[in-house]
Amino acid sequence: MVAKPQNRQIHRPSQTGLSLLETMVALTILLIATVGLLSIGMMATSTTENRGHLAARTTEYAQDKMEQLISLAWGDPTTDSTQIPIVRPQLYARLQ
């Protein structure tokens, strides 16, 4: 038979979990990083929106200008491409 030791120490596992203080520090760091990213995201969204409106206005202006140039009579020295042309039916009747 094997003899059992009389003085046996109880082995307790070390505490390896997270404490409340460690958790709060980690959450604070995460909060600071999230707020920084949100502010960058909001700035990017507003910049994109403003540039989108600018591109739409530019395209609309270019389309209007092309329509003005198309409506000018070919070879007519009296029309001016810097002004919106007034449609004169007698001018188009003369050219046809």
Contact 81, 69 (CB under 8 A): yes
Task: Give tens-digit pLDDT for 62-77.
Answer: 898 888 878 776 766 6
Q: Helices H, strands E: what count in the chain?
A: 2, 0
Give per-residue pLDDT as tens, 22-31: 899 999 999 9
C-alpha–C-alpha distance, residues 71 and 88, integer Å: 11
CA distance 83 to 96: 24
Question: Of 84, 54, 92, 91, whose CA–CA distance to 67 is shortest?
Answer: 84
Separation of alpha carbons 7 and 69, rounded Å: 105
DSSP 92: H
Q: Sorting pLDDT into bands at 50, 70 and 90, what band is 51?
A: confident
